[in-house]
Structure 1
């Protein structure tokens, strides 16, 4: 069956998009140059750290979804969506290599009247100033005249059971009004609501605002956590009370750090463009600094808690619970657990970990022993630190078994553990 849609890159956002399109009856092919990933998905095995299960992928395949490493498949689709991942380089600036590669690959095979949509996280102006020239140069076609070009930033929330792909509105900004309508016609088949932006820059900046909003508010809560601990105030009771205000307040939670592909990475690289223009997003940069300090703070709290109970961090047996960036997912991208573990090792602690989604875990290139018997490990450890609250964790039971429990997520019952 010929495909109507090509999804370029089957990483964080690509596979959920392909799932939604396939479920809506759109002939979809997933293109990715990674042969191992493509062959695994074709065999019904999703990426180990991805948001889809094997059952999800098998249902997609049964409905006609196909994968390929052959770029020739891109020349036979009506719509192409670029979902290539963006990363920060060693110098903390954005690395758009994967996006550029995907764009050039598509450009060489782009046909007239194709709709090209950018879902990758890029800084404002990228669709017009970077992606458009690459597409035009590689294809000999003109955006807005020979093919449609639009930006619709990814908004998926892996593991969220309340908001499905269909229920999350899609923001779309096209190069021209016709480009916007072409993209809206496509997403209208996947989402219950389509929101039209004035153009690509507005759509790109909406992603920037959404991401920074979360970064800044998490930083506020992390600062409040430190403040309340020093003042002897129960932060979690403060949050419970504040949540009762029916206006002007949205609740966020503190934690050991910020993880995932949206929060810890996007604000950092998206501010680079603003800084180069002389308009740095200073509040965002300060928020990033606050959130980046949390792994060190958690380490200090762990050492202080051990000291209060007559133990030293050196030689202490410390069990880390949950090393992923989000509950009930396997992805570790940006998770603070590894930095916390490295800092505890520097203090001389003997580490072990437990995570139902991570069978093997390394810190500084060395394997960390995995605890198979959770309650036995907690009982034998001098300190147990909850870094991620997976649904399988019975915190009441763990609190009863553990010698000391430091809960960095505020998920344990009041009085059952030492909370952040």
Structure 2
């Protein structure tokens, strides 16, 4: 793959006459999509954008990746992975392909027929939507917008983002009119990093747009890469779909987290309860408790709706309560750690604590919104000396909220190292960790993921569930 500072001029067949109506523009775009001559531009080459770039490339499209991070661009060009679970093969194929380009030069957006925005939508310090990345990207797209293009937002956001933020910027800066000169749609990403069963192409894609021509163009585009497209009536509905999916998970995880605390006091193993309940073939869906919420969706998305609901004088009490329960779980883990140390006549202050698993979920190198950081912050606040082991993340890189841990490196996995800690907290249950070795090497283990269920303990106070 070549890193191109600039792109060639737009070929004649991509230009659209100013007299051509929306239907004609749509037909021409769909024709280019169907014969795979349409250029697809992906803005943001992270956990969403990179798999999407690969999927369009595999479907036969010429693809262009845009990102402000020069490290991502360089690694794409050289075929070196920067998201481990995606592997070497994909990156090597992209680097060697004549149909894939990567660049920091956003002027190349004008050459794309479809532009898909996959940029972060975090929360600010007040747990309100932080739309700076979406807004900046919309301005960049608008500066290079031309007639005949399809613009799609995939970033998760509150209902109304596309209509109230994206479209006004595109129209004001470009002087063009959506639905007449260009099309806008919303299609929420549904990536599940590390899921070997469902990759981008195997996950149905919800697509929404306000005009029939825009919806037809967006459906035609995604029809080429996914198993099924699911059209909805407008952008706001599509935005609400993604929030609903993740709010459903957040609420149910909060429920089992609360049950974990209650059953612990009753001397009941919540995991045994959930496993038994899961044998019911109807009316029950199993969710698993943990030390808190992590990832780019569940800890964030519910608050996008609660924030927007206030504009309509509505209060999402149920959603907010679930958020409170989930965000309280790291403190529960610390309380259990203190109890475990006390049972061995140790104090948390000045103790050496090892966190096993930094990623927010098993078998990936994704640390976005990982509850492990909250555990580490709390432990440090209590005066503990904190280290971590995670072979997926050899060193912690700079993050928006946890910069104090940047540069910290994983410890080695051996008896001398692991036994030197006063206690071990299992925060992420990577499948290839030898948990029996962990039990053989350390006397105090706080298990937040039920990872030690098959392990033989050496004493009744060795393994604590949290």
Q: TM-score range by the shorter chain?
A: over 0.9
CA-CA distance at 1:364 after TM superposition: 7.0
Q: Deviations over 1:242-280 (max 9, x none)?
A: 101111111011101101111112222332111222112
Cα distance in 2 between the residues matched to 1:61 and 1:286: 47
Contact 2:396–2:408 (Cα < 8 Å) also in 1 = yes
User: Do the aligned residues in 2 keep the contact of 1:354 with 1:374 (CA within 8 Å)?
Assistant: no
- Please, which runs of 5 or more residues in structure 1 have no aligned partner? none
In the alignment, which residue of structure 1 is the partner of 2:253? 218
Tell me which residue corresponds to 1:394: 434
Deviations 1:91-112 (A, max 9, x none): 2211111111111111122222
State the match for 1:75 in structure 2. 110
| Aligned pairs for 1:90-105 within 5 A | 90-105=125-140
1:11-410 superposed matches below 5 A: 11-47=46-82, 52-63=86-97, 64-361=99-396, 365=404, 370-410=410-450
- Counterparts of 2:340 and 2:422 in 1: how far apart (Å)? 10
1:148 and 1:175 in contact (8 A); partners too: no
Tell whether the 8 Å contact from 1:3 to 1:76 is kept in structure 2 after alignment: no
Q: Distance in 2 between matches of 1:3 and 1:284?
A: 41
**TM-superposed deviation, 1:135:** 1.1
Quote the Cα distance in structure 2 between the aligned partners of 1:198 and 1:45.
41
Q: Is the 8 A contact 2:354 2:424 kept in 1?
A: yes
Whole-angstrom distance in 2 between the partners of 1:232 and 1:95: 42
The worse-fitting range, judged by mean Cα deviation, of 309-318 and 84-93 is 309-318
Listed one character per residue, the Cα deviations across residues 95-151 of structure 1 (whole Å, up to 9, x for unaligned) are: 111111111111122222211111011210111121111111122221112212110
Q: RMSD across aligned C-alpha pairs, in angstroms?
A: 2.0
What is the alpha-carbon distance in structure 1 between the residues aligned to residue 409 and residue 51 of structure 2?
33
Task: Indicate if the aligned counterparts of 1:351 and 1:369 stay in contact, CA closer than 8 A.
Answer: no
Query: What is the alpha-carbon distance in structure 2 between the residues aligned to residue 173 and residue 25 of structure 1?
Result: 24
Q: C-alpha separation between the residues in 2 aligned to 1:288 and 1:197?
A: 28
CA separation of 1:142/1:50 partners in 2, compared to 1, >3 Å: closer, same or farther? farther
Comparing 29-38 with 192-201, greater Cα deviation is found at: 29-38
Partner of 2:11: none
Q: Deviations 1:185-204 (Å, cap 9, x if unpaired)? A: 10011101110111111100
5+ long unaligned stretches in structure 2 = 1-7, 9-36, 458-462
More displaced 10-residue stretch of structure 1: 367-376 or 32-41:
367-376
**Bigger shift: 261-270 or 228-237?**
261-270
When structure 1 is superposed on structure 2, of 182-191 and 122-131 the one drifting more is 122-131
The answer for the alignment partner of 2:39 in structure 1 is: 4
Runs of 4+ in 1 over 6 A off after TM superposition: none
Q: Give the aligned length.
A: 419
Shift of 1:329: 1.7
Task: Assess if the C-alpha contact under 8 Å between 2:423 and 2:443 holds in 1.
Answer: yes
* Larger Rg, first or second structure (1 or 2): 2
The separation in 2 between residues aligned to 1:72 and 1:19, in whole angstroms, is 22
